[in-house]
Amino acid sequence: MQETTLTRGNLEETQEAYQKHIMATYARFPVVFERGEGPYLWSTDGRRYLDFLAGIAVNAVGHCHPRVVEAIQHQAARLIHVSNLYLISQQAELAQTLCRLSGMEKAFFANSGAEANEAAIKIARKFGRSIRDDKTALVGAEGSFHGRTLGALSLTGQEKYQKPYEPLVPNCSIVPWNNIGALEAAVSDRTCAIVLEPVQGEGGVRPADPEYLQAARDLADRYDALLIFDEVQTGCGRTGTFFAFQGYGVTPDILTVAKAMGGGFPIGGCLARGRAAEVFQPGDHGTTYGGGPLACAAALAALEVIEQEGLADNARKMGRLLEEGLRSLNPPCGVREVRGKGLMLAMVLEQPVARDVLNAAFEEGLLINAIGTDVLRFLPPLIIGEDHISECLELLKKAFARIGA
């Protein structure tokens, strides 16, 4: 029997179609959004939500920033896709911009952060094997998250994501986070790369100690290995500098970026310098869509907004205000810690009620995220001002009151 076409935007019909035809990879909230502007989203029933999750750090310039929208519209009307068998001017301009902002030398573009990390892993393996056949070991950290493709998953130090898909890519070891001794014990002359996030996002918003990143740099140099920083979530102004590594003063050999880079349009990038930048040769790696004209036009516009509107500075200033505000809430369930950098913050509760607070916040019109049972994660657009922070804190206060926690 032929199904009737659903009424676009209708919540009940959309939920029914999801149950029938969409694989259940997410526990989704019962809402359909139809419009976004700045830090706000509107659902199809006309309700407004303050978005302090920003598509998990994607919408750094807010929803539908006019300059990003204009760039997409302009490019879509001229050329949407062309193969990487040909030169793409927007791709070259984006690589030039990212190299200027990061100090890296060359770029490979993909469609996501996971794909960017896959490229980084392949560079590391080929780099290592160019030195000796058994120099293929990769070292990652507990609590990390690098994506859901098999290579990136093999370095994601969280059993819940890895276990169902074992056996994973061999020669990947995971060591305790922020533990210099464990890192020293794991790295050897068989190591081709150390892979770290300067601030772990999915792992609970855990900043690296400066000494830890410096130790990783020193170990990579000592054993002729590459240092890879995954800045998929921390990059493009999120932590108060354009890239988080710049705030630490520790420079990687490879830097991966995505999320905020496209202003909401999917794109990822693997940036490299020195010998790492020369590893890939024609035929070593590729992508059908990565670095296409439309994605690169969107990314150029988003990066221009972040740079020209000083959003990294704003992230640093507003991050301090949000952090102070979260500390001052003092809900009955107790707050063990508020941590993070810039506008990448976590509120660690003393009781396992994060999921309840998350749901209550949604009911109050505030979008945030829960990690595990006791951590609330805040990743607002970098364009927010003091009024938005006050509104967030007021809604969060109501959420705590709603569940009596």
Q: pLDDT tens string for the chain (405 positions)?
A: 566 789 988 999 999 999 999 999 999 999 999 999 999 999 999 999 999 999 999 999 999 999 999 999 999 999 999 999 999 999 999 999 999 999 999 999 999 999 999 999 999 999 999 999 999 999 999 999 999 999 999 999 999 999 999 999 999 999 999 999 999 999 999 999 999 999 999 999 999 999 999 999 999 999 999 999 999 999 999 999 999 999 999 999 999 999 999 999 999 999 999 999 999 999 999 999 999 999 999 999 999 999 999 999 999 999 999 999 999 999 999 999 999 999 999 999 999 999 999 999 999 999 999 999 999 999 999 999 999 999 999 999 999 999 987
| Residue 398 annotated to the active site | no
Tell me the two tokens of residue 337. 């810690």
Distance spanning both ends of the chain, measured CA to CA: 50
Coil, strand or helix at 333: coil
Secondary structure (DSSP) of 185-203: HH--TTEEEEEE-SEESTT
Strands of 147-252, DSSP E:
172-175, 191-196, 199-200, 206-207, 226-230
Cα 86 from chain centre: 29
Asked, as a colleague might, if the bond just before 167 is cis with ω within 30 of 0, I would say yes
Place of tokens 């094997």: 129
Torsion, Cα 142 147 152 155, to 10 degrees, reads: 0
Please give the Cα distance from 49 to 403 (Å, whole number).
19
Closest by CA position to 234, among listed 215, 252, 261: 261
109, 145, 243, 378: which one is catalytic?
A: 145
Q: What pLDDT was estimated at residue 1?
A: 54
Q: What are the phi and psi torsion angles at 119 (to 5°)?
A: -60, -40
Q: Are 242 and 102 in contact (CB under 8 A)?
A: yes
Tell me the two tokens of residue 102. 């990061």
Crossing angle of helices 293-308 and 89-102, rounded to 10°:
30
Closest by CA position to 269, among listed 248, 296, 244, 249: 296
Q: Are 203 and 144 in contact (CB under 8 A)?
A: yes
Place of tokens 């221009």: 304
Q: What pLDDT was estimated at residue 3?
A: 66
Q: Are 151 and 169 in contact (CB under 8 A)?
A: yes
| Residue 313 annotated to the active site | no
Q: Indicate the DSSP class of residue 32.
A: -
| Residue 259 annotated to the active site | yes
Please enumerate in sequence order all residues whose Cβ is within 8 A of that of 244, keeping only pairs 6 or more positions apart, or say none. 198, 199, 229, 231, 234, 235, 238, 341
108, 127, 230, 280: which one is catalytic?
A: 230
Q: Are 230 and 74 in contact (CB under 8 A)?
A: no
Please give the Cα distance from 207 to 177 (Å, whole number).
10
Closest by CA position to 138, among listed 181, 179, 195, 178: 195
β-strand partners of 376: 347, 370
Give ∠ CA 212-60-396 in degrees, rounded to 5: 85
Q: What pLDDT was estimated at residue 2?
A: 63
Element (H, E) at 137: strand 137-141
Give ∠ CA 343-376-49 in degrees, rounded to 5: 75
